[in-house]
Amino acid sequence: MTARVPQAGAIVFRTEGDRTTVLLVRSKKDPTIWVFPKGHIDDDESERETAIRETWEEAGVSGILGPAVGRPLEFDSGKEPISVQYFLMRATSELPSPEGRDKQWITVKEALATLAFESARDKLREAAALFAAGR
């Protein structure tokens, strides 16, 4: 069995008044798919550092990193087996994406309809419950 490639990312929320939205970015591999920001863990990085860096690089968003969102999400990218540890993040500032990626802030309900994979929808439900509990 091949070892899974470790990645980390963030499920980012922000609140404006009584409206809470979640961040999605366009997938680099397939621009028709919206995903949470994530990427490979560099040799000198922790999972948490990677989640912060990738969220900045892919979306131009900085924030306060919270707890891990459950167990790592495991899937096959088509090229290699991947294991992504997601963390909860509360956005504190935003600039255009340094990578020029499209991004959108949408409600959890809209995101559940937008995300292509059931595993990602499950992660979002888990993250939304954590976010709500921490407010």
User: SS3 helix, strand, coil % of the chain, rounded to 5?
Assistant: 25, 40, 30
Rounded Cα distance between 77 and 131, Å, is 28
Q: For 5-134, CATH number?
A: 3.90.79.10
pTM, two decimal places: 0.94
- Give me the residue spans of the domains in the chain: 5-134
- pLDDT, residue 34, reads 97
Q: What confidence tens digit (pLDDT) does each residue in 69-116 have?
A: 999 999 988 889 999 999 999 999 999 999 999 999 999 999 999 999
Residue 71 to residues 8, 20, 28: CA-CA distances in angstroms? Answer: 12, 24, 24
